[in-house]
Copies of this chain bind each other. A is one copy, B any other.
Amino acid sequence: MAELLAGKVLVAQGGGPTAVINQSLVGVVLEARKFPHIHRVYGAVHGVRGIVDEDFLDLTRETTHNLEQVATTPSSALLSTRDKPDREYCQRMFGVLKRHGIHYFFYVGGNDSSDTLRIVNAEAEAVGYPLRCVHIPKTIDNDLVENDHTPGFGSAARFVVQSFRGINLDNSALRGVYVAVVMGRHAGFLTASSCLARKYPDDGPHLIYVPERAFDVERFLGDVDRTMKAYGRCIVAVSEGISDRDGRPIMTTLKQMGQDAHGNVQLSGTGALGDLLMDTIKEKLGIKRVRADTFGYLQRSFLGCVSDRDASEAREVGEKAVQYAMWDDVDGSVVIRRPVVDYSVDYELVPLAAVAGKTKHMADEYLNADGNGVTQAFHAYVRPLVGSGLPETHRLRAPRVPKG
């Protein structure tokens, strides 16, 4: 094999950035350098677009110190792309790979990136060009099948938890309804992780809505009303992708309810959904103090909020990808398993087709019957992922003074 596949390694990053995606990149680079028959490690700039543009960095000329510093920096250091290559685009990529004698391609990405890799891999096999293709998982949405969880999710979830822990205190100091819109078009894992913000029984978020359950506006208003009566305040976590039972985004349906809305259905990078829910609550329930925040891009790129567990796993999937390609001479997608109850992980390589383009959703056992919260099972699932040393909140416990 060392003969046949001697040569160059290419690594690239695709799709949305995460806080730990560079750990995987650095894992690939440092592990690949351990193999004597690998004389170059290239990085494609802006993902697959860097391949068709033949825009490569020679990472064998990068210092270990700087690589380690980049590893702890959020967002894709090789920059990214949203390009969704068709067969023709993939053939152009393959042509460039061939011209540079690249025999190993490692792509860090989510559903789309794994599918791209699957096609490139097929093209290479079709013409008998030896090209090892290994997909390295990442996504804050945690929606890759076969994986217990995905690198990037734990750190994003940690940000969501720290946000809601602070918001919970702010909302008790100045009471009212608070709605936070969290990323997640099809999977509610990130929104659901807000459950970890609760410490005391009356802590928020009091209501959690995810795309896996049809969102009914009337039932939602009833939930908010009950919560206000119970606690005098109400904190709501909703996924940007919540839809009605016909699968229509709530932003559209609320708009039809006569709400004042923005014309587009862009979900991220807009406060429209939160504002629509806020306006609906004000109008229908007559509550005065209602606030809405959309966490937006902070949740995937905020500097200084990383799950240590997430970071080390992101590093390991990069290293494992190289080891599978070099020692076993196979293609595939690295997946994370959680074999035991007391947290630990194993890595496996599964066929690209097993992961490519598929979307994982939250299991039923993770969502409560009312469709407005999560179960203890989900709490147990997500708790280890946000890592150690999660900052805590504390309350005064001094007794009331008798009235004079």
Q: Write the residues of chain A forming the contact surface with B, with a CB cutoff of 8 angstroms.
A: 13, 16-17, 19, 42-43, 54-63, 66, 69-70, 72-82, 96, 99-100, 162-163, 165-167, 169-170, 172-174, 178, 260-263, 268-272, 274-275, 278-279, 290-298, 300-305, 391-401, 403-404
Q: Least Cβ distance of A26 to chain B in Å?
A: 10
Contact residues in B for A296 (Cβ distance below 8 Å): 291-294
Can you report 10 residue pairs joining A to B where beta carbons are below 8 Å apart? A58-B399, A62-B396, A75-B166, A80-B173, A269-B291, A269-B293, A270-B271, A270-B278, A270-B292, A304-B391
Contact residues in B for A82 (Cβ distance below 8 Å): 174
Contact residues in B for A13 (Cβ distance below 8 Å): 173
Q: Is the CB of B73 within 8 A of A394?
A: yes
Which are the 6 A-B pairs with shortest beta-carbon distances? A271-B271, A269-B291, A75-B169, A293-B296, A166-B301, A69-B394
CA distance A66 to B392 in the complex (A): 12
CA distance A397 to B66 in the complex (A): 8
Q: Given that A73-B394, A174-B82, A270-B271 are contacting pairs, would A294 and B293 also be in contact in the complex, using a CB cutoff of 8 Å?
A: yes
Contact residues in B for A54 (Cβ distance below 8 Å): 403-404
Q: Is the CB of B62 within 8 A of A397?
A: yes
Q: Is the CB of B396 within 8 A of A77?
A: yes
Query: Whose C-beta in chain B lies nearest to the C-beta of A164?
Result: B303
CA distance A209 to B42 in the complex (A): 41
Contact residues in B for A404 (Cβ distance below 8 Å): 54, 96, 99-100
Of residues A58, A272, A296, A396, which shows the largest number of chain B Cβ atoms within 10 Å of its Cβ?
A396
Q: Least Cβ distance of A4 to chain B in Å?
A: 21
Q: Is the CB of B263 within 8 A of A58?
A: no
Q: Least Cβ distance of A42 to chain B in Å?
A: 6
Q: Is the CB of B297 within 8 A of A170?
A: yes
Q: Given that A162-B303, A169-B75, A398-B59 are contacting pairs, would A275 and B268 also be in contact in the complex, using a CB cutoff of 8 Å?
A: no
Select which of B62, B73, B393 is within 8 A of A303 by beta carbon. B393
Contact residues in B for A43 (Cβ distance below 8 Å): 396, 398
Select which of B16, B275, B297, B398 is within 8 A of A293 by beta carbon. B297
CA distance A291 to B79 in the complex (A): 18
CA distance A162 to B301 in the complex (A): 9
Q: Is the CB of B293 within 8 A of A298?
A: yes
Q: Is the CB of B292 within 8 A of A295?
A: no
Contact residues in B for A72 (Cβ distance below 8 Å): 394
Select which of B55, B166, B290 is within 8 A of A74 by beta carbon. B166
CA distance A271 to B279 in the complex (A): 12
Contact residues in B for A291 (Cβ distance below 8 Å): 268-270, 296-297
Q: Is the CB of B270 within 8 A of A78?
A: no
Contact residues in B for A305 (Cβ distance below 8 Å): 304
Q: Is the CB of A75 within 8 A of B170?
A: yes
Contact residues in B for A298 (Cβ distance below 8 Å): 163, 166-167, 293, 295, 298
CA distance A117 to B203 in the complex (A): 32
Q: Given that A173-B17, A173-B79, A298-B167 are contacting pairs, would A57 and B292 also be in contact in the complex, using a CB cutoff of 8 Å?
A: no
Contact residues in B for A292 (Cβ distance below 8 Å): 269-271, 296
